[in-house]
Amino acid sequence: MRTVTKSAAATSLFERPCATSSATRRSVSVSPPEARVRPGIRAVVATTSDRGLDAASALRAAGVEIAAVADLRPSPGAPAAALRAKGIEVLAGSTILEAQGRKEVRAAVIGPAGGENGRGPREQRFECDLVVMSGGVAPATSLLAQAGARTAYDPARGHFALRDLPDGVHAAGEVAGAGGLEAIELSGQVAGADAAHALGFGDAASRTRVNGLRERQTAANGRAAEAVPPPVAGSGRGKCFACFCEDVTAKDVHLSVEEGYDSIELSKRYTTVTMGPCQGRMCQLPAVRLMAKETGQDLQQVGTTTARPPWAAVPLGALAGRPFEPAKRSAIHARHRELGARVLWAGDWRRAYDYGDPQAEALAVHEAAGLIDVSTLGKLIVRGPEAGEFLDRLYPNSFSTLKPGRIRYGVLTSDAGRIMDDGTICRLDDETFYVTTTSSGAGAVEQWFAWWLADWRMDVRLTDVTQGLSAVNLAGPKAREIMAALTDLDCSAEAFTYLDGKQGRVAGVDALILRIGFVGEVGYEIHFPAAYGQDVWDAILAAGEPFGIKPFGLEPQRILRLQKQHILVGQDTDSESTPFGAAMPWIVKLDKEQDFIGKWALEHASEHPAETALVGFTLPDGAVPTEGAAVLDDRGEPVGQVTSARHSRQLGQVIGMAWVPSPLASDGAEFTISDERRRLTAAVMTKPFYDPDGEVLRS
Amino acid sequence: MSALDFLSPAGDAVARSPMERLAQAAGARFEVREGWNVAISYEGGSPDAPVRWADVSHLPKIEVHGAHELTLGEATRTNDGWRCPITPDRVLVIGDRSADGIDLTSSLAALTISGPLAREVFARFCALDLRPRSLPVGGFRPGSVARTPGYVLREDEDRFLMLFGWALGEYVWTVVADAAGPLGGRPEVADA
């Protein structure tokens, strides 16, 4: 191993944004040195130097209309004349005061900097969909600072510049203060030669040559004047983001000082400013300027935060990589597209949300039959002599007692007794279980199982087959007849009962068929190799066509499951929900022989009733509350929230689920929902809205 | 019928790779062979392309559990394919349908990437060190492939087998085509 004793760093500069009021950060960017793409249609550019003017020219060349350029300098540089010659308005002594628009930029307000509350007479509003800001540059000194370099505030340039370098460390280029291509090149030659001389290379002649280079560099070192932006331009008009990564606003910095965190290091820890992925590249100087404004200190007194390793480069992929999303698609995905499905993200999967009319799709499930692709469900094979005991340790109910060919519902709880996931478990033979999980929870459950398996060292093998199997749910009053046309299995109600799991051929393919009913009708969940996904889907639709089968998507499935008050983990539960609060005390078998994860916490929960309970509700007036709307008590204080709500065409009413104070968890009890200025009165219904006794499901 | 027969793609229907449609869009003609719809030619195929990729998702892949003598990181060639150690008690057998284990054929999609620029293509979406000194012929590495979990096996000097999640087939094909295209890469049939 060799130790580096001399080094030269050429880490260049960072572009800084202006700290300005903005209701959105979308379509707000720092100025690109070169624009080869068209990031917007109409832009407003705010700058403190020629860099912004050059960016405006580049954007114009890329086809972006420039609504206006605000240059903080009283006398903008030469490029301003070129812009004006093209008919672009360049407003001297101005900056951007506000970016308007809710989800994206709609307009920008430009005016003199430093205006406090209220609009000034010289302010102008420009409609635009892109705001480009160049709030000056700052040398990228962090690596050098980690090596022991010190910086000092340079009021002429408005940033912290290198002051002292430790022995053996050299700097070149813009980080060392060089400006202009010639000076930058010369500074590189000088730094390299200095390092070589320090190592003992060279002679008197080479030193003379380097001194000559140094003089040439000084002479060539030209940098156009820059204006120093104020800490906040146009304050008092909504959020003013100082840190784009961590959403830290000027108000947050103000509050940190009020709370006593009145140094930049303390404020950093309080607000997390400079702690985001950009490592302070964009926000360090605005944060220091804000701190100086709040404390009355000058910038040198405020100083900078400590540079700490690792100093990560911006990945080239982030700048130039193609934005391919690692989307998971079921083997039936293309068919959904062909059937006109609206496809949306569901976790890392692309899923059919509906096929145009979710209510009609839900009705078809009640009236004839529906088919939904549920391939996204997590699927695990748990196998081994101790597989049953392994599951008994993980779940609050028992699986070692489950007979082969039967299915049991399972709610997975954490060691704190909170609901993590749910799904069905089918025992395939004495040593083999087939575990399904929620679509979004598949990865976490597999890790959870693997973690405990490693800890307990049981004779169990775990294999994730989530992507290896397609799964479809055929449900509805005609589902049995359709199944009979596709398989040799006896599908009669007597031979294939609710919660049976059987293997057989479906449409010529070996499959595992689970008789379960998430959507509340007679249903068969068919699991088979993904390589057959498309063909089996086609075969089921073809067999069901005489019966009126229709494909249905995620949204109708949500309506259907809500009618049954079947929970969606993560939607109707949160990280504090226990099975007791979620109206599933029956699933917790505290008296079972096997100890299990979360038992102690669940014992505690069973002895101390939850303050809130998950209940179903109906709304007589037809209004569908927003999911997340507050449940209010008599004093108008929030005491719970709506987790799910839909209109059900089948039931002809609005139904939902909500967490309410436990005393209200009885049929007929009324509670108030506050939803976007509306007050709605809901009535509790603790049993499923559809088929409350499960007669249809089990038939 | 064994408990896990339903995992094996051995039915009467036509088995399809998750990349079939993209191969078709790239000019593939198909034929059903041993139950699988496989590409048998590409329009304008260029066998001399400096890098080529082929969909071999139909290869049997069986996960065998139990202690083994293989060295982690080194696959062993068999008559039909490869035995790839994943953990000290887990081996992925590729190409041998008779292996006794859990059938992952439909869980893992597969592409071969071959030709003198194969490593250059990998470098554009995979950080695994595929230099011969790190991954000689027979070398087998689990790791991140195009930002998803996968495996890479060096089958020959200029030929790599890449395994990844079935549901990600379309995505991975797109990434590989994007990386290989500017280098003159072309898709090819599996047995070319």
B117-132: per-residue pLDDT in tens? 999 999 989 989 999 9
CB atoms within 10 A of CB A355: 19
| Per-residue pLDDT at A223 exceeds 60 | yes
Give the Cα separation of A97 and A189 in Å (integer).
43
pLDDT class of A683 with cuts at 50, 70, 90: very high
pLDDT class of B14 with cuts at 50, 70, 90: very high
| Joined tokens for residue A613 | 């309970």
Give the Cα separation of A125 and A175 in Å (integer).
37
A653 SS3 class: strand
Higher pLDDT, B118 or A251: B118
- The pLDDT score that the predictor gives to residue A21 is 63
Task: Find, in chain B, the residue whose alpha carbon is nearest to that of A320.
Answer: B124
Whether omega before A385 lies within 30 degrees of 0, making that bond cis, reads no
Domain with CATH 3.30.70.1400 in chain A: 378-464
Domain with CATH 3.50.50.60 in chain A: 13-137
Span of A323-332, A379-388, A476-485, A555-564 with lowest mean pLDDT:
A323-332
Cβ-defined contact of A529 to B63 (cutoff 8 Å): no
Domains of chain B and CATH, by start: 5-187 (3.30.1360.120)
| Per-residue pLDDT at A239 exceeds 80 | no
Chain B within 8 Å of A443 (Cβ-Cβ)?
no
The residue type found at A449 is F
Work out the percent of chain A whose per-residue pLDDT is above 90: 60
A185-219: per-residue pLDDT in tens? 899 999 999 989 988 898 999 999 999 998 888 88
Chain B within 8 Å of A330 (Cβ-Cβ)?
yes
Nearest CB partner across the interface for B1, out of A322, A461, A503: A503
- The pLDDT score that the predictor gives to residue A26 is 54
DSSP H or E run through A47: strand A42-47
- The pLDDT score that the predictor gives to residue A334 is 97
Give the pLDDT mean for A357-368.
Answer: 97
- The pLDDT score that the predictor gives to residue A19 is 66
- Residue B14: DSSP 8-state: P
pLDDT class of A118 with cuts at 50, 70, 90: very low
Task: Find, in chain A, the residue whose alpha carbon is nearest to that of B175.
Answer: A324
- The pLDDT score that the predictor gives to residue A319 is 47
Higher pLDDT, A655 or A284: A655
The CATH class, in words, for A332-375+469-560 is alpha beta
Contact A287, A256 (CB under 8 A): no
pLDDT class of A562 with cuts at 50, 70, 90: very high
Contact A553, A335 (CB under 8 A): no
With contacts defined as CB-CB under 8 Å, which chain B residues touch A505?
A: 11
Give the Cα separation of A74 and A93 in Å (integer).
5
Residues 6+ apart with CB under 8 A from B192: B47, B52, B54
Distance from CA of A276 to the nearest CA of B (A): 22
Q: Is B121 exposed, middle or buried (0-12, 13-18, 19+ CB in 10 A)?
A: buried
With contacts defined as CB-CB under 8 Å, which chain A residues touch B170?
A: 327, 329, 333
| Per-residue pLDDT at A463 exceeds 50 | yes
Distance from CA of B29 to the nearest CA of A (A): 18
| Joined tokens for residue A64 | 């972006």
DSSP H or E run through A66: strand A65-71
Query: Widest CA span of chain B, in angstroms?
Result: 49
Give the Cα separation of A468 and B165 in Å (integer).
8
**Which residue spans within A155-291 are E strands per DSSP?**
159-164, 169-171, 241-243, 248-249
- The pLDDT score that the predictor gives to residue A679 is 92
Give the pLDDT mean for A292-315.
Answer: 83
B169-188: per-residue pLDDT in tens? 999 999 999 999 989 999 99
Higher pLDDT, A251 or A532: A532
| Per-residue pLDDT at A315 exceeds 70 | no
Pick the CATH number of A243-308 from 1.20.1050.10, 1.10.10.1100, 3.40.50.1000, 1.10.10.60: 1.10.10.1100
- Tokens 């976007």 locate to A676
A592-636: per-residue pLDDT in tens? 999 999 999 999 999 988 899 999 999 987 889 999 999 999 999
**Most A-contacting residue of B4, B6, B68 (CB-CB within 10 A), to test interface:** B6
Residues 6+ apart with CB under 8 A from A225: A49, A73, A77
List b or e across A110-126, with b for residues whose CB sees 16 or more CB atoms inside 10 angstroms. Answer: bbbbebeeeeeeebebb
- Residue A73: DSSP 8-state: S
Helix, strand counts (H, E) of chain B: 3, 13
Distance from CA of B46 to the nearest CA of A (A): 25
Chain B within 8 Å of A467 (Cβ-Cβ)?
yes
The dihedrals phi and psi of A36, each to the nearest 5 degrees, come to -105, -5
Work out the percent of chain B whose per-residue pLDDT is above 70: 99
List b or e across B164-185, with b for residues whose CB sees 16 or more CB atoms inside 10 angstroms. Answer: bbbbbbbbbbbbbbbbbeebeb
With contacts defined as CB-CB under 8 Å, which chain A residues touch B171?
A: 324-329
Nearest CB partner across the interface for A509, out of B3, B13, B168: B13
Span of A277-281, A421-425, A645-649, B54-58 with lowest mean pLDDT:
A277-281
- The pLDDT score that the predictor gives to residue A27 is 53
- Tokens 């062993």 locate to B76
Distance from CA of A185 to the nearest CA of B (A): 31
Give the pLDDT mean for A517-521.
Answer: 94
Give the pLDDT mean for B95-104.
Answer: 94
Cβ-defined contact of A508 to B174 (cutoff 8 Å): no
Higher pLDDT, A563 or A62: A563
Q: What is the dihedral of CA A41, A45, A50, A55, to 10 degrees?
A: -20
Chain B within 8 Å of A510 (Cβ-Cβ)?
yes
- The pLDDT score that the predictor gives to residue A320 is 46
Cβ-defined contact of A529 to B6 (cutoff 8 Å): yes
| Per-residue pLDDT at A40 exceeds 70 | yes
Distance from CA of B4 to the nearest CA of A (A): 8
Interstrand relation of B90-94 and A523-529 (parallel, antiparallel or unpaired): unpaired
With contacts defined as CB-CB under 8 Å, which chain A residues touch B12?
A: 508-509
Span of A168-172, A314-318, A566-570, A573-577 with lowest mean pLDDT:
A314-318
Which of A36, A19, A114, A37 is CA-nearest to residue A28? Answer: A19
Residue B107 CA to its chain's centroid (Å): 12
Nearest CB partner across the interface for B167, out of A330, A432, A503: A330
Contact A203, A227 (CB under 8 A): no
- Tokens 């033979």 locate to A429
Which of A323, A381, A369, A327 is CA-nearest to residue A350? Answer: A327
Give the pLDDT mean for B32-42.
Answer: 95
Nearest-10 crossing angle of helices A284-295, A264-271: 110
With contacts defined as CB-CB under 8 Å, which chain B residues touch A464?
A: 107
Distance from CA of B174 to the nearest CA of A (A): 8
Domain with CATH 3.30.1360.120 in chain A: 332-375+469-560
Higher pLDDT, A314 or A110: A110
Cβ-defined contact of B17 to A539 (cutoff 8 Å): no
Cβ-defined contact of A324 to B175 (cutoff 8 Å): yes
CB atoms within 10 A of CB A277: 11
- For chain A positions 235-264, those within 8 Å of chain B (CB to CB) are none
Domain with CATH 1.10.10.1100 in chain A: 243-308
Span of A190-204, A221-235, A571-585, B45-59 with lowest mean pLDDT:
A221-235
- The pLDDT score that the predictor gives to residue B134 is 94
Give the Cα separation of A271 and A254 in Å (integer).
10
Pick the CATH number of A611-699 from 3.30.390.30, 2.40.30.110, 2.60.40.420, 3.30.565.10: 2.40.30.110
pTM: 0.71
Which of A475, A299, A452, A469 is CA-nearest to residue A370? Answer: A475
| Per-residue pLDDT at A426 exceeds 50 | yes
A48-71: per-residue pLDDT in tens? 888 889 889 988 888 889 999 999
- Evaluate whether ipTM surpasses 0.85: yes
Nearest CB partner across the interface for B171, out of A324, A505, A528: A324
Residue A602 CA to its chain's centroid (Å): 31
Residues of B at the A interface, defined by Cβ within 8 angstroms: 1, 3-18, 21, 36, 57, 63, 65, 102-108, 146-148, 165-171, 174-175, 178
Give the pLDDT mean for A436-445.
Answer: 95
A560 SS3 class: helix
Residues 6+ apart with CB under 8 A from A162: A139, A141, A144, A149, A150, A151, A171, A175, A176, A177
The CATH class, in words, for A13-137 is alpha beta
A94-111: per-residue pLDDT in tens? 888 888 887 778 898 888
Cβ-defined contact of B107 to A468 (cutoff 8 Å): yes
Nearest CB partner across the interface for B15, out of A432, A467, A532: A532
Name the fold adopted by A378-464. Alpha-Beta Plaits (3.30.70)
A565 SS3 class: coil
